[in-house]
Chains A and B, each alone.
Chain A
Amino acid sequence: VQTETPDFLALLEVLVTHDVEFVIVGAISAVLQGAPVMTFDLDIVHRRTEQNVARLLDVLANLDAAYRGHPNKGLSPGREHLLGPGHQLLTTRLGPLDLLGAIEDGLTYSELVESAITMKVDEFEFLVLPLKLYVDLKARSPLEKDRARLPVLRETLKMNLNSED
Chain B
Amino acid sequence: MADKEAAPIERSPTDSGVDPSLIQWFMTLTPSERLRVVQNYIRSVQKIRRANRDT
Contact = CB atoms under 8 A, between A and B. Distances in A.
Whether A associates with B in a native complex is yes
Interface of A: 4-9, 28, 31-36, 38-40, 119-122, 151-152, 154-156, 159-160, 163
A39 B32 CA distance: 15
B35 A119 contact: no
Interface in B1-55: 14, 16-18, 20, 22-27, 29-32, 34-39, 41-43, 46
B35 A9 contact: yes
9 contacts: A4-B46, A5-B46, A6-B39, A8-B38, A31-B34, A34-B34, A38-B41, A151-B14, A151-B17
B20 A6 contact: no
Contacts of B32: 9, 121-122
B26 A35 contact: yes
Given A32-B31, A36-B26, A160-B27, 6 more contacts: A7-B39, A8-B35, A9-B32, A35-B26, A36-B37, A38-B42
Contacts of B41: 38
A13 B53 CA distance: 33
Nearest to A27: B38
The prevalent SS among residues of B at the interface is: helix
Interface of B: 14, 16-18, 20, 22-27, 29-32, 34-39, 41-43, 46
The 7 closest A-B pairs by CB, nearest first: A151-B16, A34-B27, A36-B26, A155-B18, A5-B43, A32-B31, A121-B31
A28 B18 contact: no
Contacts of B14: 151, 155
Given A32-B35, A119-B31, A155 B42 contact: no
A160 to B, nearest CB: 8
B16 A32 contact: no
Contact of A159 (B20, B34, B37): B20
Contacts of A9: 32, 35-36
Nearest to A126: B31
Nearest to A42: B35
A7 to B, nearest CB: 7
